[in-house]
Structure 1
Amino acid sequence: MSLHGGSIDAFSAGAGQGSTFTFRLPALDIGAERPKVQRSAPASGEGRILIVDDNVDSADTMGIIMASFGYEVRTAYDSASAIAEAVAFVPQVALLDLSTPEPDGMSLAEHFQQMPETKKTLLIAYSGYGRQEDIEKTTKAGFAHHLVKPVDAETIHKLIQSMIPGEG
């Protein structure tokens, strides 16, 4: 909880009296904290991001935030729909959750590297896995970068700007 700026409190009046647990997380007002980013119109074919995460809320929230930066965003919650979306959308960047099941994000990255539509897609690992060996595996698998959750959207935006020619 502390990584998210929150806290947990527990209270009990004694044995047999029950317990009260209070979870506190700070509210995020996306409208009030909307990033102020100077954008130029992206060149043809730039600024398309595919977000693949089996956590629907996480994927959708990241999609909304990245769209607020001016990117065209699509989300997928499993590998099969990610592949279909990639063929139709031809993303410049794919933000892949490594724990997306069947196949996992590593296998999906390998598949993307073999597809003509995504051969040049920049792959970013987006995961709770952050050990050095995890980062080495993603680098070896062809990911351009490895981000460890939780990651702030501004960090992702700056990373994408630095990776896509013509962005920023």
Structure 2
Amino acid sequence: MLLIDDNLDAAESLAQLLALSGHDTRTAGDGVGGLRVAAVFRPEVVFCDLGLPGMSGYEVARLLRELPFGRDMVLAALTGYGQPSDRERTAEAGFDAHLVKPVDPEVIESFLDDSRAP
């Protein structure tokens, strides 16, 4: 799993929590870095913040979906933006889910179980 968030403390905390559940995780602090990590790591699941420096999470999602390995990945927005228009934009950008911060770890595990993510 790849977590892309400019709040590296939050990303690392979630990565550690997911690792304790047996998931292989990586983190990136911005969209460009996230795309670089994704190109090498080839994650099956990506959690991506929307308000990233330099490149929005919406742009990251669109670019990931254009890559051969990105078409089938599970892509979830993990963001503080929770308005209906934000949810519409995430769906249009190619996200499979829209999770609003702070997200309860049980919600994330349930999402992963529902999506059959590794």
Q: Same fold (TM over 0.5)?
A: yes
Q: CA deviation at 1:114?
A: 0.6
Alignment TM-score, normalising by the size of structure 1: 0.67
Work out which structure has the larger RCO, using CA pairs closer than 8 Å and 6 or more positions apart in sequence: 2
Quote the Cα distance in structure 1 between the aligned partners of 2:69 and 2:53: 22
More helix by share: 2
Which residue identity does 1:91 align to in structure 2?
P
- Could you tell me whether the CA contact under 8 Å between 1:52 and 1:97 is conserved in 2? yes
Quote the Cα distance in structure 2 between the aligned partners of 1:136 and 1:106: 11
Quote the Cα distance in structure 2 between the aligned partners of 1:130 and 1:162: 21
- Matching of residue 77 in structure 1 with residue 29 in structure 2: yes
Calculate the aligned-residue CA RMSD, in Å.
Answer: 1.2
| Percent sequence identity over aligned pairs | 36
- Could you tell me whether the CA contact under 8 Å between 1:95 and 1:124 is conserved in 2? yes
Could you say which structure has the larger radius of gyration?
Answer: 1
Runs of 4+ in 1 over 4 A off after TM superposition: none
Alignment TM-score, normalising by the size of structure 2: 0.94
Q: Deviations over 1:80-131 (max 9, x none)?
A: 2111110111111100000012111000000000112322111100000000
Structure 1 residues without counterparts, runs of 5 or longer: 1-48
Quote the Cα distance in structure 2 between the aligned partners of 1:74 and 1:101: 19
Q: CA deviation at 1:71?
A: 0.5
